[in-house]
Structure 1
Amino acid sequence: ASPRMSNEELARRIGLAWERLPEPRHPFSLAIVGRSKEPLYVSLGPHSPRLWPEDVDIVHHLWLRLSAQKSFGAKLHHRDVVGFALRRLRQDLESDKADDIIEELRQDLSK
């Protein structure tokens, strides 16, 4: 760890450096241990996100609501809900809504 920056900032910088490496970049997990001795675990490269239970609940409730539509039947899965939400977010970030979306996320992170 670095005495000059937080573990989170160090993890962010290591991640950005990893992104600049030439291919092939192999994903891996890293533990950063600072003065607090509490390790910060980060994953570099593409990886499944660590979802909080309340995030999983949101996905499940959305799935329940959507799967009740006869047109979906048994075809709709939780991953479909997540994938659709991510594609919509990407679409919104590429539109004139980007600044509003970024500000809303900034406010959500400060809660």
Structure 2
Amino acid sequence: MLERRSEVRFQLKLEAMVEEARGQDAMILRTRDVSSVGVYLHGQEQRTDGPTYCQGDLLLIQIYLPAFRPKDGRIMSVVRAEGRVVRLEAQGLAIRFRRESRIEPLDV
């Protein structure tokens, strides 16, 4: 099968907080892979107590990244992005990011 993706995907198992842009309840899912243009998230099928998403939904995503400061030790950073659900599967969903995303440090 021909690979149509133009961006490199990284297999990363990270926590991600996901909520609809309309401000509904947030869910914590886990990433399967991440690229500069999107993310695949596991866990929607296991949720019976939270929202489920549909293809085309606009979502706000925060992917939590561990990082290290050379002198002070461990800190956390977050990738904040907005994207649309482009594919739903039994085990999760694929989201394509819009152009505006950023990485920020977290105060923890």
Question: Which structure has greater helix proportion?
Answer: 1
Larger Rg: 1
Instruction: Indicate whether the TM-score tops 0.5.
Output: no
Q: TM-score range by the shorter chain?
A: under 0.3
Question: Taking structure 2 as the reference length, what is the TM-score of the superposition?
Answer: 0.24
Question: Which structure has greater strand proportion?
Answer: 2
